[in-house]
Amino acid sequence: MSKRKPFVGGNWKMNLHGSEAQALASALNAGFAHAAQVDAAVFPAFPYLASVGAALAAGGHKIKLGAQDGYFQPNGAFTGEVSLSMLKDVGVKVLLTGHSERRHVLHECDELINRKTRAGLDAGLEVILCVGEKLEQREQGQTDAINAGQTALGLAGVKADQMSRVTIAYEPVWAIGTGKNATPADAQAAHVAIRRVLAGLYGDAIAQGVRIQYGGSVKPANAKELFSQPDIDGGLIGGASLKAEDFLGILNAAVK
Ligand code: PGA
């Protein structure tokens, strides 16, 4: 069991229209009874941040509002982008950076991910920096090297006193949305290696405080075993966060 407070995020991706998103937020408010033991956040699509935020507020903010993306520039001629102060304006507290779909579908590079990570922290947000290897990289024994590189590049310039607002999400690309997940032992090993990288960058005391989530086909049925590993501090959930019953089952599995 991890000694850190578990943190479970629901990344809704480009799913759920307004009334569905609000209904899900309300159902999560009604069913989530463990805010003292587990931190929770949901990441709706941009157009519904404000309405989902209002629904979460009605439940007493037990669940934080997160954004799936945000741009690092404060304002200006960046058509289609949304600034971090705009996100904060509608109640966002947590920013995702480096998600594998941003890296591999939208082709974001480590430098852009780093700028977003730093800007999110400078804006006072919590940031979940996602890292993870592709299948061929795992097969070539590169898992730890890929995670180390993405972690170090993603955090470049992040100050030690900002690390209490950083969470790392280890999400092997081959496990996202595929129904395959890393075994608890493989995930634990990857988390230990990432924590070693954090210790090299910031020292052991800070590294021991950083939460490392596992993501990739987490379901109510496999969550407990994953979350019972000593270095797995919760999860980042895609598909199973779209149904209240499933996401609540995963949140409950994170209670120590
Ligand atoms: P999944 O997605 O749970 O559907 O595999 C995880 C994620 O992308 O964060």
Domains of the chain as residue ranges with CATH: 7-101+108-244 (3.20.20.70)
Q: Would you say the CB of residue 173 lies under 6 angstroms from ligand 1?
A: no
Strands (DSSP E) along 103-203, which ranges?
A: 126-131, 166-170
Q: Would you say the CB of residue 177 lies under 6 angstroms from ligand 1?
A: yes
* Cα(236) to centroid(ligand 1), Å: 7
Angle at 219 between CA 131 and CA 178, to 5 degrees: 60
Tokens at residue 66, please?
């997160």
Backbone angles phi, psi at 173, to 5 degrees: -60, -35
Q: Would you say the CB of residue 132 lies under 6 angstroms from ligand 1?
A: no
What is the CB-side half-sphere exposure of residue 113 using CA atoms within 13 A?
A: 27
Would you say 143 and 187 are in contact if contact means Cβ atoms under 8 Å apart?
Answer: no
Tokens at residue 111, please?
């430098």
Q: Please count the residues of the chain.
A: 256
Identify the residue whose tokens are 């607002």.
165
Catalytic-residue membership of 99: yes
The amino acid occupying position 73 is: Q
Report the largest interatomic distance among the alpha carbons of the chain, rounded to a whole angstrom.
49
Residues 115 and 153: their CA atoms lie apart, in Å, by 10
Mutational test site, ligand 1, from 8, 227, 236, 251, max ligand atoms within 8 Å of CB: 236
Catalytic-residue membership of 104: no
pLDDT at 182: 87
Q: Would you say the CB of residue 11 lies under 6 angstroms from ligand 1?
A: yes
Please tell me whether residue 84 adopts helix, strand or coil conformation: helix
Q: Would you say the CB of residue 237 lies under 6 angstroms from ligand 1?
A: yes
- Whole-model pTM above 0.85? yes
pLDDT at 184: 95
Would you say 126 and 167 are in contact if contact means Cβ atoms under 8 Å apart?
Answer: yes
pLDDT at 23: 97
The amino acid occupying position 89 is: D
Residues 256 and 249: their CA atoms lie apart, in Å, by 14
Q: Would you say the CB of residue 216 lies under 6 angstroms from ligand 1?
A: yes
* Cα(239) to centroid(ligand 1), Å: 6
Ligand 1, atom 7, residue with closest C-alpha: 238
Which one from 101, 108, 126, 171 is the annotated catalytic residue? Answer: 171
Residue-wise pLDDT for 175-209, tens only, equals 988 888 889 999 999 999 999 999 999 999 999 99
**Run means of pLDDT, 10 residues per run, the chain, 256 residues:** 88 97 97 97 98 96 97 98 98 98 97 98 98 95 97 98 98 90 94 98 98 97 97 98 98 96
- Residue 239 CA, closest ligand 1 atom number: 4
**DSSP notation for 17-54:** -HHHHHHHHHHHHHH---TTT-EEEEE--GGGHHHHHH
* Cα(173) to centroid(ligand 1), Å: 9
Contacts of 209 (CB under 8 A, 6+ apart): 4, 163, 164
pLDDT at 231: 98
Would you say 228 and 191 are in contact if contact means Cβ atoms under 8 Å apart?
Answer: no
Residue-wise pLDDT for 49-63, tens only, equals 999 999 999 999 999
Would you say 18 and 50 are in contact if contact means Cβ atoms under 8 Å apart?
Answer: no
Identify the residue whose tokens are 């996602």.
130
Q: Would you say the CB of residue 148 lies under 6 angstroms from ligand 1?
A: no
